[in-house]
Structure 1
């Protein structure tokens, strides 16, 4: 059984502030250790369920947050950027299931450190007319590859967003949001025990085939900056909906990969910090 784990940072046990998750932040070094401990709990859970191959993708920010020496040796690590598939680099139809660790709710939604990919630069995303963030796009892209998302960890509102998108996914709330930068924290050992048990149970259940997304899918993104939207129609297939909104159609996962090209363009045109 081959398992893929995508690890973000905002939804990690104990982390609530930009200083916890940004390189150079006062508590970033502690945050990256906490990140490793959450993902190691998921790795232990996968091993207990019989996983024979585990690939972990560091999916947060610079994508160099996890220190290889801190990762359980049962897993292999994808580290660094750029990556053509970003948060889902290395995911393939050969994987039997996907687990997302440390995820967060979408831009504009309540939740600890909520945003969609680029802090305030991306105001809204829709997939086939449905509001979506990093959680929904990951689930839909994996489903297009025939890989079910079976478990996800984050704050309670990220878990609720996941359940709305796909109620079959097992979720573990490691903290309860009080505001965008405050949460009631679950004790760390309790949270990691819950992660391990949930992953084991999810992977031990009969494998399900996820519902395939529409083909072609329609991805729509509203940017904060009109300059980003003005440039992107230079990419074949991208159309301008209004001064700040673009859309494109195509099959997933190719559309997900193209979205990372959009973000590279946006990064070259703007300089927004993630949590201003």
Structure 2
């Protein structure tokens, strides 16, 4: 059984603030070790269920958060950037299931460190007219590749968002949002035990793979900056909905890859911090 893990950071056990998840933050070094512990719990669960090949993609920010020496020896690590598929780099139809570890709710939700990919640079996103964030877009892209998402870990708001997209995904709440930068935390050992057990149980009967599709979708993104939207219109196929909103049509996962190009353009035009 081949398992893929996409590891974000905002939804990791114990982390609630930008200083916990941004390089240079006063608690970042502790945060990256906490991230490794949650990932390792998922790896242990996958191994217990019979996984023989496990790939972990560091999907947060600079994508150099996980220290290779802190990762469970049963897993291989994809680290650094740029990556053509960003948070889903390395995911392919050969994988039997995907795990989303440390995920967070979308922009506008009152979840811990909630945002959609680029902090307040992205005000909102829609996939085929439906509000979407990192959870929904990653799930839809994995489904288009033909890989089922088995488990998601994060705060209770992230778990609820995942349930709205696909109720068959097992979710593990490691903290309960009080506000965007505060939470009621589960004890660390309790949370990691819950992750390990949930992954092992869910993978003991591997989830059914969705049929890989090439059905066109429409991705719409509303940016904080009209300059970003204006610049993106120079990319073939990108159209304007208003001065700050652009859209494009295409089949996933190609549309997900195109969105990665949008983010690189936006990053070149702005220098703002990811949280506000």
Give how far 1:213 is off: 6.7
- Would you say the 8 A contact 1:219–1:249 is kept in 2? yes
Report SS of the residue matched to 1:234.
coil
Q: Deviations over 1:36-94 (max 9, x none)?
A: 00000000000000001000000000000000000001000000001000000000000
- Would you say the 8 A contact 1:140–1:212 is kept in 2? no
> Who is 1:15 aligned against?
15
What is the distance in 2 between the residues matched to 1:125 and 1:186? 30
Residue 65 of structure 2 is aligned to residue 45 of structure 1: no
> Who is 1:182 aligned against?
182
Report SS of the residue matched to 1:137.
helix
- Would you say the 8 A contact 2:14–2:185 is kept in 1? yes
What is the distance in 1 between the residues matched to 2:213 and 2:245? 22
What is the distance in 1 between the residues matched to 2:108 and 2:96? 32
> Who is 2:204 aligned against?
204
Q: How many residues align?
A: 276
- Would you say the 8 A contact 2:4–2:55 is kept in 1? yes
Report SS of the residue matched to 2:51.
coil
- Would you say the 8 A contact 2:146–2:213 is kept in 1? no
Residue segments in structure 1 that go unaligned for 5+ positions in a row: none
Q: Which deviates more, 17-26 or 200-209?
A: 200-209
> Who is 2:140 aligned against?
140
Residue 273 of structure 2 is aligned to residue 254 of structure 1: no
Q: Deviations over 1:213-270 (max 9, x none)?
A: 7710110000000000001111111101100000000000000000000001000111
Residue 166 of structure 2 is aligned to residue 191 of structure 1: no
What is the distance in 1 between the residues matched to 2:111 and 2:74? 32
What is the distance in 2 between the residues matched to 1:223 and 1:272? 13
Structure 1 runs, 4 residues or longer, greater than 2 Å off = 209-214
- Would you say the 8 A contact 1:237–1:249 is kept in 2? yes
- Would you say the 8 A contact 1:232–1:262 is kept in 2? yes
Change (3 A) 1:209 1:119: same
TM score, norm. by length of structure 2: 0.98
> Who is 1:25 aligned against?
25
> Who is 1:271 aligned against?
271
Give how far 1:110 is off: 1.1
Give how far 1:210 is off: 2.9
What is the distance in 2 between the residues matched to 1:210 and 1:133? 21
> Who is 2:105 aligned against?
105
Residue 149 of structure 2 is aligned to residue 149 of structure 1: yes
What is the distance in 1 between the residues matched to 2:26 and 2:210? 41
Residue 240 of structure 2 is aligned to residue 240 of structure 1: yes
- Would you say the 8 A contact 1:140–1:213 is kept in 2? no
Q: Which deviates more, 197-206 or 128-137?
A: 197-206
In the TM superposition, 1:124-135 aligns within 5 A as 124-135=124-135
Give how far 1:142 is off: 0.3
- Would you say the 8 A contact 2:150–2:207 is kept in 1? no
